[in-house]
Homo-oligomer: A and B are copies of this chain.
Amino acid sequence: MTQLIFRSATRADVPEILALLEDDAIHRSRQQVVAERDDAACWAAFEAIDADPRNELIVAEDAGTVVGTCQLTFIPSLSRRGAERMTIEAVRVRTDLRGHGIGKAMMRWALDRARERGCGLAQLTTDKRRTDAHRFYAGLGFTASHEGMKLAL
């Protein structure tokens, strides 16, 4: 690694982000059920995120290459003294570059981003099968205090 840069994704990053999202065993098991990727919907989703001041699609870049990604959503809330909460989704680091601290640096950057905005809470859900991820997030200070419940529509 030379020097990691964290920044908002541009249209040009989308193919690399999609490749990161798809290079994952759990994602693949889901895709077999829900069929192939819908490119038009993915582009529309990128445009929606890009135009929304409460959504940020982030990439970690190393020497001009995308090596990680995550999506941050800032949710205004009446709970917790009216502070925003940051939800983190779709966290990925390139498979061949894991264990080099990219994920940790990206999450720390994201948490700093949340503090800058005055968020009172950061939250995420992680599949119960991802035991490595649970340790990773616990190491960053996250507590597995909640059940993460999902319903496919």
When the two chains form their complex, are residues A145 and B148 in contact, meaning their CB atoms are under 8 A apart?
A: yes
Q: At the interface, yes or no: A52 with Cβ under 8 Å from chain B?
A: yes
Dominant SS among interface residues on chain A: mixed
Whether A46 contacts B78 in the complex (CB less than 8 A), given A115-B153, A120-B153, comes out as: yes
Q: At the interface, yes or no: A30 with Cβ under 8 Å from chain B?
A: yes
Q: Which residues of B contact A100 (CB under 8 A)?
A: none
When the two chains form their complex, are residues A45 and B78 in contact, meaning their CB atoms are under 8 A apart?
A: yes
Q: At the interface, yes or no: A63 with Cβ under 8 Å from chain B?
A: no
Q: Which residue of B lies closest to A152 (CB)?
A: B121
When the two chains form their complex, are residues A87 and B115 in contact, meaning their CB atoms are under 8 A apart?
A: no
The chain A residues found within 8 Å of chain B, CB to CB, are 14, 17-18, 21, 27, 30, 34-35, 37-38, 40-46, 48-49, 52, 54-55, 57, 71, 73, 75-87, 89-90, 111, 114-115, 119-128, 134, 137-138, 140-153
Q: How far is the CB of A84 from chain B (nearest CB, A)?
A: 8
24 A-B pairs whose Cβ atoms sit less than 8 Å apart in the complex: A17-B78, A21-B78, A37-B81, A38-B81, A42-B81, A44-B82, A45-B82, A48-B76, A52-B76, A55-B75, A73-B75, A79-B89, A120-B152, A122-B150, A123-B151, A125-B147, A126-B147, A127-B145, A128-B146, A137-B149, A143-B151, A144-B148, A146-B147, A146-B149
